[in-house]
Amino acid sequence: MSGRNKMMSGQWYDANYDSELVEERLKAQTLYHEYNQLNPSDNANKNKILSKLLGYETKNVDISAPFYCDYGYNIEFGKNVFVNLSCYFMDGGKITIGDHCFIGPFTGFYTANHPSDVESRNKGMEQALPIVVGNNCWLGANVSVMPGVRIGDNCVIAAGSVVTKDIPDNSMVAGVPAKVIRQLTETLSIDSNS
């Protein structure tokens, strides 16, 4: 089984020295570097590069530069998503972002899990566990989402939180590690004519 297949299936794999994975990361770095150099108003070229990087055309996804990822092809964006500047998607494992999500600046999604024993870690061994963010979520600035975490629909993750465990639907969470503060039940009525 190839290193890529092991990575995609959540098995331990050689993240540092597997030549195919090193080449794929370099390809992604080249594409996101090109993306990050574009004029912010150059939507045609931004979408073109993003399609190459992700392997599909997005639906109303706005990603502010700079943007960083490991592979690109393991990121799945829903429709109507905003990603603020300097976000990092460590997408050895699949990262799924639902529809209508807002992701604050300097937020990171980290699918990589490393061995706790020194010998295995120094050999470059890694395990990639998927991350899922549901629909209608808002992640504030500097949020870190750890490997294998699932965030439910309609959640608010407070700025600076480190999400280490699954979060149920309709939750507001905060802290290091993040904990549910309360369930979100109210609807704010905003008059757009004010």
Which residues pair with residue 110 across a beta bridge? 90
Residue (of 63, 155, 138, 153) closest to 103 by Cα position:
138
Question: Cα–Cα distances in Å, from 4 out to 14, 24, 71, 128, 147?
Answer: 9, 10, 11, 11, 17
- What is the three-class DSSP state of 134? coil
Which token pair is 105?
A: 């600046």
Is residue 126 within 8 A of residue 3, CB to CB? The reply is: no
- Catalytic residue annotation: 114
Residue (of 116, 112, 114, 152) closest to 129 by Cα position:
112
